[in-house]
């Protein structure tokens, strides 16, 4: 369209503002709530824009998706989110943080939050521009504005059009799920556990069995000295005491990690100073507990402390641990339930 025709259309638009079609309200949808909740830069409609009040910023966000605004503010948003994402990616690389660790999963979630906002904004901007075009053309006479619209991805500013998800499009689509289409379900936050599952589905395996599960939701049960039921996230695995699982020595004997874990099971997760004095063979030392802590961290993938200590309470497991083999006699001896012999 030449400049003269554009100028004529601009006059027609100004003379017919009362006839301008409107899209259905979208401000109550889940996808819009994502954009409201995430951090954003101050948006500038024009150079030196003075309207940076909370109300003014909220209005600018809404106007991006009304179907006829230029992609200028969209570009500001996407530029900001991509810069924030890239800083997180750089931190992963600079600090050599593996995505499959607990801190890596948490950072991956933050990366995907910025990418989800970017993905939503690009898709909804183009979708609403096309919807507005349909509404304009359905009027009689057609509303004279369709030549100003951005209807395809390639028509957007280069940085926006060239957006590429860090973990790949399949991971981002799984993270976004059906948020582009649904309304009023209020499923906005994605847990680290869900992110771990999404990455697992794409072949990015986690370090440890349950890096995103809290210690309080992890349990161990010795059904016999050689078999441990390890339960987390509604799943139960059987750990067989072996050299491979880190519970036996090279010559096949139970090692100190196994023995210390069993002592905590007998003590139901807490070994106090009084118990160490009263019960024979339940005594543990710092070196034993240190080894067990490391074994538990490697098994689960968690980096925080699974066994805490203070002078009053002694050693306290942050997870649940039980056993169905032994009992403590009134005299302080550990006896096997099925044999009645001193262990």
How many distinct structural domains can be found in the chain?
Answer: 2
Give, rounded to a whole angstrom, the gap between the first and last alpha carbons of the chain: 93
Q: Which helix (H) or strand (E) holds 144?
A: none
Residue in this structure with the two tokens 């179907």, named with its chain if needed? 67
- Asked if residue 343 belongs to a domain, the reply is no
Are 191 and 234 contained in the same domain? no
CA angle 261, 246, 304 (to 5 degrees): 60
- Asked if residue 209 belongs to a domain, the reply is no
Structure tokens belonging to residue 25: 């309200």
- Asked if residue 37 belongs to a domain, the reply is yes
Three-state DSSP at 71 gives: coil
If you ran DSSP here, which 8-state letter would residue 246 be given? Answer: T
Residues facing 270 on adjacent strands: 316
Domain boundary among 176, 201, 226: 201
Are 140 and 246 contained in the same domain? no
What pLDDT is recorded for position 26? 93
Residues 43-71: tens digit of each pLDDT: 988 877 777 899 999 999 999 999 988 89
* Cβ partners under 8 Å of residue 215, min gap 6: 302, 304, 306, 318, 319
Residues 6-31: tens digit of each pLDDT: 444 444 444 555 678 899 999 989 99
Residues 283-309: tens digit of each pLDDT: 899 999 999 999 999 899 888 899 999
Domain boundary among 141, 168, 201: 201
Domain boundary among 166, 201, 236: 201
Report pTM.
0.64
Are 132 and 27 contained in the same domain? yes
- Asked if residue 242 belongs to a domain, the reply is yes
Calpha distance 259→244 (Å, rounded): 16
Residues 114-169: tens digit of each pLDDT: 999 999 999 999 999 999 999 988 888 888 776 778 889 999 999 999 999 999 99
Are 118 and 257 contained in the same domain? no
Calpha distance 23→67 (Å, rounded): 7
The residue segments making up the domain with residue 220 are 215-336
């Amino acid at each position: 369209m030449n400049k003269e025709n554009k100028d004529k259309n601009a006059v027609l638009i100004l003379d017919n503002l009362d006839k301008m079609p409107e899209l259905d309200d979208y401000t109550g949808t889940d996808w819009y709530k994502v954009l409201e909740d995430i951090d954003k830069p101050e948006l500038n409609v024009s150079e030196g824009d003075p309207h940076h009040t909370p109300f003014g910023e909220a209005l600018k966000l809404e106007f991006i998706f009304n179907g006829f605004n230029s992609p200028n503010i969209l570009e500001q948003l996407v530029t900001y989110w991509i810069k924030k994402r890239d800083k997180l990616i750089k931190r992963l690389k600079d600090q050599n943080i593996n995505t499959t660790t607990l801190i890596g999963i948490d950072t991956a979630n933050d990366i995907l939050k910025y990418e989800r906002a970017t993905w939503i904004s690009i898709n909804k901007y183009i979708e609403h521009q096309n919807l507005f075009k349909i509404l304009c053309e359905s009027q009689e006479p057609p509303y004279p504005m369709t030549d100003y619209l951005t209807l395809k991805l390639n028509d957007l500013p280069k940085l926006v059009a060239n957006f590429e998800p860090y973990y790949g499009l399949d991971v981002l689509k799984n993270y976004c799920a059906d948020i582009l289409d649904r309304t009023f379900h209020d499923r906005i936050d994605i847990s680290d556990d869900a992110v771990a599952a999404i990455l697992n589905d794409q072949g990015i395996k986690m370090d440890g069995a349950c890096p995103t599960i809290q210690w309080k939701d992890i349990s161990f049960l010795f059904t016999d000295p050689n078999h441990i039921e390890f339960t987390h996230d509604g799943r139960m695995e059987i750990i067989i005491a072996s050299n491979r699982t880190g519970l036996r020595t090279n010559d096949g004997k139970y090692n100190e990690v196994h023995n210390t874990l069993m002592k905590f099971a007998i003590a139901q997760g807490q070994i106090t100073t009084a118990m160490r004095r009263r019960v024979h063979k339940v005594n543990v030392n710092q070196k034993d507990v240190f080894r067990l802590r490391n074994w538990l961290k490697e098994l689960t993938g968690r980096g925080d402390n699974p066994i805490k200590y203070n002078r009053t309470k002694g050693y306290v497991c942050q997870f649940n641990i039980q056993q169905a083999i032994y009992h403590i006699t009134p005299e302080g001896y550990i006896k096997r339930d099925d044999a009645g012999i001193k262990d």
